Amino acid sequence: MKLRVLAVDDSRTMRGMLDAALRDAGFEVRLAEDGIEGLERLNEEMPDIIITDINMPRMDGFGFIEAVRAERRYRGLPILVLTTESAPELKARARNAGATGWIVKPFDEGKLAVAIERVATV
């Protein structure tokens, strides 16, 4: 069975890159352009893992992570942050919000696939 990934990013280009890379790696992919749409997609079908950007309109990645973790049924769902940000205080904030891991863009397709499989099967 394929792992289901929900990828949340406001960049159309990044969503396209994630979609192609993750499908090529054998994952089932759902996309959302910000935290609000991410929550809608999350409620439509249960992914095995979420990948989210931080800087997005309407609801940023921190708010999205907090909203996901506020729902009991999603507390154990792995969430990887994929962003251009690398400041330690932002990583700490994401971790405190409930993020499982942090990957800096641009991403290596192979390493991203390995990271997804590692945290999604834990």
pLDDT at 93 over 80: yes
Tell me the percentage of the chain whose pLDDT exceeds 70. Answer: 98
Total of domains in the chain: 1
Instruction: List the domain range (segments joined by +) for residue 10.
Output: 4-120
Read off the tokens for 107. 């991403």
Residue 122 has pLDDT above 60, yes or no: no
C-alpha span between 105 and 74 (Å, rounded) = 25
Name the band, by pLDDT with cuts 50, 70 and 90, for residue 121: low
Q: What pTM was computed for the model? A: 0.94
Strand order in the sheet with 79-83: 28-32, 4-8, 49-52, 79-83, 101-104
Q: What is the pLDDT of residue 99?
A: 96
CATH code of the domain in which 107 resides: 3.40.50.2300
pLDDT at 106 over 90: no
Residue 18's pLDDT is what? 95
pLDDT value of position 38: 97
pLDDT tens, position by position, 4-29: 999 999 999 999 999 999 999 999 99
Contact 56, 78 (CB under 8 A): no
Give CA–CA dist 95/108, Å, rounded. Answer: 22
pLDDT of residue 85: 85
Average pLDDT over residues 56-62: 95
